[in-house]
Amino acid sequence: MTTPIADPAADLPALRVAIRAWLRDNATALQPFRHEVLGSMHDMQVHTRVFQRMLFDAGWTRLGWPAEFGGVGGSAVLRAEVMEELAAAGYCIPELLATIEIIGPMLIKYAPHLAARHIPAAIAGDEVWCQGFSEPEAGSDLGGLRCKAVPTDGPHGAGFVVSGQKMWSSYGSLAQHVCVLARTGEAGYRGLSMLWVDLEQPGITVVPTMCENGREEVAELFFDDVFVPRDRLVGPEGAGWEVVMYLLQFERGAFAWKRQAELHTQLQDLLHEADPVAAAAHATTVGEAYLALFALRSQAGPTFAMLESGAALGPGISVDKLLLGATEQSLTDTARTVLWPALELDDTDSAARWRRRWSYARITTIYGGAAEVQRDLVAERLLGLPRGR
């Protein structure tokens, strides 16, 4: 491993100077990472892993993770700033870093022994993780999930036998590990536990799902009497609801920060690629997309810092999720208008990229909690309005 050059004691201005110098010094080697890869999930992983490894070796993506979890220490806000600088300089933040931002804090808080084993490998790009919460009849209402984990103390030792189905697992086709929310006890929210499950073992079948954006973005996971040792519990048995609520704060908050950085780059791309006359003709629409982005950024920055401080954000995190979905759709709808009809009809990589971005934006009001449900949470729990039903 090369010596990291990222300094965990740096303040934000010093960090910006250092990473800009690193990007300048490595501009030739970094050139391939300026655009999303248009191929399959596998193509994406092969491509971005190289960039992820370069960032790891230089220490940029190890900032904010404690040394015992493979990091170089300092505040996670430094890592947020790194993402911003990468995007501002026109690079694609390695896609699989998002899962680590979402799942890593949960492992550190509830299963530090698993965090010490798996976070270093994931940051280095050597491991991929996914989430197994949703089921065919339990998405918005996870309290109704049926995948069960039956406690056992058999020939393999103490643990759980897991059986059931999960679906919509992002990166499920690439992952080696999944955090599974399973029923270990009574019906409802109290009978759930979170387990860390090795996907590369007998009894597990992974079926990738081809999505409208042309990638196998998600997968179905089938568990057929899979033994999971007891030390793979994330948090206490029966505490699965608390654990998943903790994780969802990062999915709705930390992820929104990463995306706002990327969406700023996409807006710059749009203004660069568009015919100036067409862009001027739709100035109001472009302005609205910019304002949506500004609102998202204003919300997501403080959220990232509050998550770092350990604050419990409660239903307020739904605001970040709603702003993210609205901004993704506003920006890509704007691109569709400004680039018409190229976005629909052209064969260029640029048009293909915008088509993929537009399709991806449609799902941002579903994953991580459907927008309708988030609006209910804001209405009832933040604003104190009466329940609609």
Out of 169, 260, 299, 327, the only residue in the binding site for ligand FAD (CB under 6 A) is 169
Of the candidates 120, 95, 91, 122, the one whose C-alpha atom is nearest the C-alpha of residue 26 is 91
* Shortest distance (Å) from residue 144 CB to ligand FAD: 9
In degrees rounded to 5, what are phi and psi of residue 315?
-65, -15
- Binding status of residue 61 toward ligand FAD by CB under 6 A: no
The span from the CA of 65 to the CA of 200, in Å, is 27
- Binding status of residue 69 toward ligand FAD by CB under 6 A: no
Q: Which is nearer to ligand FAD, 130 or 239 (CB)?
A: 130
Options 29-37, 73-81, 151-159, 168-176: segment touching ligand FAD (CB under 6 A): 168-176
The span from the CA of 86 to the CA of 182, in Å, is 37
Contact 222, 185 (CB under 8 A): no
Options 31-39, 52-60, 111-119, 134-142: segment touching ligand FAD (CB under 6 A): 134-142
Spatial neighbors of 95 by CB under 8 A, at least 6 apart, are 44, 48
- Binding status of residue 281 toward ligand FAD by CB under 6 A: no
H-helix or E-strand spanning residue 360: helix 349-363
* Shortest distance (Å) from residue 281 CB to ligand FAD: 33
In the region spanning residues 295 to 324, those forming contacts with ligand FAD, defined by CB under 6 A, are none
Nearest residue to the partner ligand FAD, using Cβ: 139
* Shortest distance (Å) from residue 389 CB to ligand FAD: 8
- Binding status of residue 251 toward ligand FAD by CB under 6 A: no
Out of 50, 366, 378, 379, the only residue in the binding site for ligand FAD (CB under 6 A) is 366
Spatial neighbors of 318 by CB under 8 A, at least 6 apart, are 252, 369, 374, 375, 377, 378, 382
Q: Which is nearer to ligand FAD, 215 or 232 (CB)?
A: 215
The span from the CA of 184 to the CA of 235, in Å, is 13
Contact 175, 122 (CB under 8 A): no
Which two structure tokens, joined as six digits, stand for 346? Answer: 């052209």
Query: How many residues at the interface with ligand FAD, by CB under 6 A?
Result: 20
The span from the CA of 171 to the CA of 189, in Å, is 26
- Binding status of residue 255 toward ligand FAD by CB under 6 A: no
- Binding status of residue 363 toward ligand FAD by CB under 6 A: yes
Out of 52, 61, 134, 332, the only residue in the binding site for ligand FAD (CB under 6 A) is 134
The span from the CA of 174 to the CA of 265, in Å, is 26
The span from the CA of 56 to the CA of 234, in Å, is 26
Coil, helix or strand for 187? coil
Of the candidates 262, 275, 265, the one whose C-alpha atom is nearest the C-alpha of residue 337 is 275
Out of 51, 56, 69, 168, the only residue in the binding site for ligand FAD (CB under 6 A) is 168
Q: Give the catalytic positions in this structure.
A: 251
Q: Which is nearer to ligand FAD, 75 or 327 (CB)?
A: 327
Q: Which is nearer to ligand FAD, 81 or 376 (CB)?
A: 376
In the region spanning residues 327 to 356, those forming contacts with ligand FAD, defined by CB under 6 A, are none
- Binding status of residue 131 toward ligand FAD by CB under 6 A: yes
Options 3-11, 38-46, 128-136, 283-291: segment touching ligand FAD (CB under 6 A): 128-136
* Shortest distance (Å) from residue 139 CB to ligand FAD: 2
Q: Is the peptide bond before 341 cis (omega within 30 degrees of 0)?
A: yes
Q: Is the peptide bond before 151 cis (omega within 30 degrees of 0)?
A: no
Contact 194, 243 (CB under 8 A): yes
The span from the CA of 36 to the CA of 265, in Å, is 12
- Binding status of residue 370 toward ligand FAD by CB under 6 A: yes
Coil, helix or strand for 4? coil
Q: Which is nearer to ligand FAD, 134 or 265 (CB)?
A: 134
* Shortest distance (Å) from residue 357 CB to ligand FAD: 14
The binding site for ligand FAD (CB under 6 A) comprises 130-134, 139-140, 168-170, 217-218, 363, 366-367, 369-370, 372-373, 376
